[in-house]
Chains A and B, each alone.
Chain A
Amino acid sequence: MKLIIMAGRNVFRHTRRSVITALAISVGLAGMIAMDTLMNGADKQGERNIVDFETGQLEIFAKGYYREEGAFPLDTVIKQPDALTAAVRSIPGVKTATGRLKFPARLNNGVDELPVMCIGIDLVNEGSVFATPRAVISGKYLTAGDDILIGAELARDMKVKVDDILTVLVRDRNGTYNAFDFNVCGLLSTGHPLLDRNAVLMDLETARSLMAMPGQITELCVTTADDPKQIAAIKAEILHRIGPAYEVYAWDELNAAIFRIMGMKRFFGFLVGLIVLIIAAVGIVNTMLMAVMERVPEIGMLKALGFSSRAIITMFLYEGGLIGAIGSFVGTFFGLMISIYLSTVGLDFSRKLGSADFNIPMKMVFWGEINPSTVLLVFAFGVVVSVLVTLLPVRRAAKLEPADALRHV
């Protein structure tokens, strides 16, 4: 206890020096926590956008479709969706399922023409799997056969507004070119660039008619029980029940490349924080080196009184640990404050970055999401690093013969 009291008072022997060292640790830790919050938020936002707007939790395709998905292989589609949907819905753990028909098209406003992805959606079941109905920011949700919903950014690019007429040009399954005029009934803002910039949503029956694909869908999107740990088991059960004519993928498997990129971004963000913390650790070594060097005669006196090398090392470790703990506490506090700001207000990059694409399914407005385990880990990391780097200068001084230490100038 006395050692802790002595260490505590020694920390404030050179208040300015201790404060600067602690501040360096604080900056490092606050940066690490804020960066993690931002990256965690981006991950979660990306996950939500994928599950809520793109895939659901599981997607079922006809065998061979997913491998060629980018080329829209309309020969490899689900031809009896009603039977499949009924079979899937009967599996325990499955909440519901809805079919979608995706196909490439060109969208024409009379002046400009842009390539888009059309998605035929089941008006009855779409809302039970996806959050699409809640993402309408202007106009109304799909009701009639000649209505379409388009992404807000696509509408801006095409210079159209609600109730304008757009022409959708497609090449149907038989290779015949079709053109059909649609009324823009609403604009979507999902936060998912794929939908906001490229998608045209229409009634499933209209899409089937346009593509000459009666009764067919390209994918069946499934929503399952809330526990994400059950998804793998449900997927296995679905595969077992529906047989080898189909293939099933979980949402994260369908976006593995995106999550690899996000993981790398997160890693590099953390690395930047770590480098700052290493610089701070060098600061602690420097501070403790000065503290040890100027107190070598005091170490000699303590040894003369009977203090062991171990007790002296412990006292200095308390000092380093205390500076680390103060720095880590302040850093964690400010890191959390920044994180709370990021979680509630967000960070809007849209003006600076416009429609830049970072291969992440989210908007250019980042919302942070605090990860409590990271906050605790970073705090502990700050304290442990401070204690460990203190060992370096202290060990040698504590092992000096008392007479040598007392003679030290």
Chain B
Amino acid sequence: MIEVVNLSKDYKVGKMLFPALHGINMKIMDREFTALAGPSGSGKTTLLNIIGCLDIPTEGEVLLNGKATTRLTSREKSELRKNEIGFIFQTFNLIPVLTAYENVEIPLVLLNLPREEKEKRTISMLKEVGLSDYLKRRPNEMSGGQQQRVAIARSLVKGPKLVLADEPTANLDSATAREILTLMKDLNEKFQTTFIFSTHDRLVMEYARRLVNLRDGRIESEQSK
């Protein structure tokens, strides 16, 4: 379970303070498929980054299974991300010099698994996202949808408890966006992984089982399906 307690975040630009989040409180249960919705600047990405230990809050805490992640050292956060959190980015963020196979394999390199185990998991995950014929393709040889599938495979290959996706369909056409969302939802069910993703697209929001609306750094409303 993820518990967000009185979370605030201010960005400092020069001498000016720009508040991004104001006292956010929320709980996300295991295996949820939750969307953080809201217009640009509403604080979606900031909230995702703090939950994923990529950023530090100005105030408040995030508890991951009862453990306060905001108090962890940089190394401990790194360990937590390595073992328990997967990320999917809007711009895919694949490494251009590596093949689809190698991109998916990267998180496993850090886990020091035997070579056979790494190979088995990587191929199996690429198969899950429908890219078993694209193992040797580099990112520039794949479509946006295919690249995002690789990114999804990369986020799930280590078997994380939580996957955070920041606007995962923003760079895709609507048909591909639907495919990606369906895939994410299927994988959420199959692997029992908690998914939290941000979006400002109504179509995407339809796929979420729980919708948290943010505006100006505050939770405006919540809906569950």
Report which A residues bind B (CB closer than 8 A): 2, 5-6, 9-10, 12-13, 297-298, 300-309, 311, 401-404, 406
Contacts and interface: CB of A to CB of B under 8 A. Distances in A.
B82 A305 contact: yes
A207 to B, nearest CB: 79
Given A2-B109, A306-B79, A13 B87 contact: no
A308 B75 CA distance: 7
Given A401-B54, A402-B54, A403-B54, A306 B93 contact: no
Contacts of B109: 2
Q: Which 9 pairs, one residue from A and one from B, show the smallest C-beta to C-beta distance?
A: A306-B82, A9-B97, A403-B55, A301-B93, A402-B54, A403-B54, A403-B49, A2-B109, A306-B81
B93 A307 contact: no
A10 B97 contact: yes
26 contacts: A2-B105, A2-B106, A2-B109, A5-B102, A6-B98, A9-B98, A12-B97, A13-B96, A298-B93, A301-B89, A301-B93, A301-B95, A303-B54, A303-B81, A304-B87, A305-B81, A305-B82, A305-B87, A306-B81, A306-B110, A308-B75, A308-B78, A402-B49, A402-B54, A403-B54, A404-B55
Of B89, B95, B98, most A-chain CB atoms within 10 Å = B95
Contacts of B106: 2, 302, 305
Contact of A6 (B52, B54, B97, B107): B97
B118 to A, nearest CB: 10
A404 B78 CA distance: 15
B97 A13 contact: yes
A14 to B, nearest CB: 11
The secondary structure that dominates the A interface is: helix
A397 B106 CA distance: 20
Interface string B59-81: 00000000000000011001101
Contacts of B105: 2
Contacts of A311: 110
B56 interface: yes
Given A304-B54, A403-B49, A297 B93 contact: yes
A304 B97 contact: no
Contacts of B79: 306
A9 B139 CA distance: 14
A306 B83 contact: yes
Nearest to A10: B97
Nearest to B53: A402
Nearest to A301: B93
Contact of A307 (B52, B83, B110): B110
Interface of B: 49, 52, 54-56, 74-75, 78-79, 81-83, 87, 89, 91, 93, 95-98, 102, 105-107, 109-110, 154
Contacts of B154: 305
A298 B95 contact: yes
Contacts of B52: 304
B81 A304 contact: yes
A126 B55 CA distance: 86
Contacts of A304: 52, 54, 81, 87
Given A6-B98, A10-B97, A305-B87, A406 B54 contact: yes
Given A305-B82, A306-B79, A307-B78, 15 more contacts: A5-B102, A6-B95, A303-B78, A304-B87, A305-B106, A305-B107, A305-B110, A306-B78, A306-B81, A306-B82, A306-B83, A308-B78, A309-B74, A401-B54, A401-B56
A243 to B, nearest CB: 76
A305 B158 CA distance: 10
Nearest to B86: A305
Nearest to B154: A305
Nearest to B82: A306
Contacts of B93: 297-298, 301, 406
Nearest to B110: A306
Nearest to A8: B97
A309 B73 CA distance: 13
A297 B75 CA distance: 20
A302 B55 CA distance: 14
A406 B107 CA distance: 17
Nearest to A306: B82
A326 B217 CA distance: 51
Nearest to B87: A304
Contacts of A297: 91, 93
Contacts of A404: 55
A406 B48 CA distance: 13
A5 B78 CA distance: 22
Contacts of A302: 106
